[in-house]
Amino acid sequence: MKLIIQIPCYNEAETLEVALNDLPKHIDGIDKIEYLIINDGSKDNTVEVARNWGVHYVVNFKKNKGLAKGFMAGLDACLRNGADIIVNTDADNQYNGDDIEKLVRPIIDGKADIVIGARPIDQTEHFSPLKKKLQHFGSWVVRKASKSDIPDAPSGFRAYSRDAAMRLNVVNEYTYTLETIVQAGRERIPMESVDIRTNAELRPSRLFSSMLGYVKKSMLTIIRAYIMYKPLQFFSICGAIPFLIGFILGVRYLVFIAMGIDGGHVQSLILASTLMMLGFMTFIVGLQADVIAANRKILEDVQYHVRKLDYDNAAAKDEDKIEA
């Protein structure tokens, strides 16, 4: 069984070697461990540091494309190079490398396909009180949207089986962490969470420039992912609100008519009709979106089988080269 540990990097020359030195060299149940970095348009000597250390693979972007695209490019490279398990960690050594064994153990034992490390958020000193509350709130929202029990949704310290990695799709350009949990939860991919440790902060986070920006982008990512996987439910809820308000106004108008008070309430009747039509049209949009979502599921299934053929052939060719 082959494990590839991937690290997204953007100008990480100062911290990358520290993070690499912390990675495990052997794990029981794993035959081979290899290392990969995604150079996301770094302007420093990140790649040189990685190659001097002995990293096996380097995925290069000439221009910074963001964490989400870097993550997917890393998965692609890992799968093409025959990874049975893929672990994603950070270049700033935020996560304890010894805990990688805890991440991959449920996958090795066949208990899960995705394992996410749960940080001790309340005990992390460099997290402000506001950030701690937002982390908990964001994870709660993701749990509701994904119908999962993952306690630390924004955690980037996670492991994927080969099968799970081939099923993932990330469409937003911000981060992969939230969207992949919603997708896995809705697709019923087996997920687990394990408690992990964190190291002292080597540099400030670069994922967001302000707390407001982080909250806004995270909420938009969650809502978008939920709409993709449960469009009928989302639009039905949105449509039910104006429809019910309009229905109540309509009943109110009929009550006035029954009481013989029929003057001066035509505006209420017009508003009731408008709101009920708006709610009904929103529900129709939900039906159309649900049909599109059904077609997307078919396309994802086709994509999975194409990926499987492609990656398995690529891995087989690499093995033939090694044997030769």
Q: Are residues 18 and 61 in the same domain?
A: yes
Residue 148 belongs to a domain: yes
Residue 161 belongs to a domain: yes
Last residue of a domain, one of 224, 240, 263: 224
- pLDDT for residue 235: 93
pLDDT at 79 over 80: yes
Give 119-135 as a DSSP string. Answer: --GGG-TTS-HHHHHHH
Find the domain containing 290 and state its range. Answer: 231-300
210: tokens are: 């302000």
Q: Are residues 155 and 241 in the same domain?
A: no
Residue 317 belongs to a domain: no
Which amino acid belongs to residue 29? G
Domain of residue 145, CATH code = 3.90.550.10
Residue 319 belongs to a domain: no
Residue 26 belongs to a domain: yes
Closest CA to 87 of 13, 195, 18, 2: 2
Q: Are residues 176 and 279 in the same domain?
A: no
- pLDDT for residue 141: 82
Q: Are residues 243 and 214 in the same domain?
A: no
Contact in structure between 229 and 290 (CB atoms under 8 Å) = no
Last residue of a domain, one of 224, 254, 276: 224
- pLDDT for residue 206: 59
- pLDDT for residue 207: 58
Q: Are residues 142 and 65 in the same domain?
A: yes
* pTM of this structure: 0.81
The residue with greater pLDDT, 209 or 288, is 288
Q: Are residues 52 and 170 in the same domain?
A: yes
Q: Are residues 137 and 239 in the same domain?
A: no
Residue 322 belongs to a domain: no
Question: Burial letters for 23-61: b for 16+ Cβ neighbours within 10 Å, e otherwise?
Answer: bbeebeebeebbbbbbbbbbeeebbebbeeeebebbbeb
- pLDDT for residue 120: 81
The residue with greater pLDDT, 265 or 262, is 265
Residue 272 belongs to a domain: yes
pLDDT at 126 over 80: no
- pLDDT for residue 183: 86
Q: Are residues 74 and 126 in the same domain?
A: yes
pLDDT at 175 over 70: yes
Averaged pLDDT, 274-296: 93
- pLDDT for residue 23: 94
The residue with greater pLDDT, 320 or 177, is 177
pLDDT at 322 over 60: no
Count of domains observed in the chain: 2
Residue 318 belongs to a domain: no
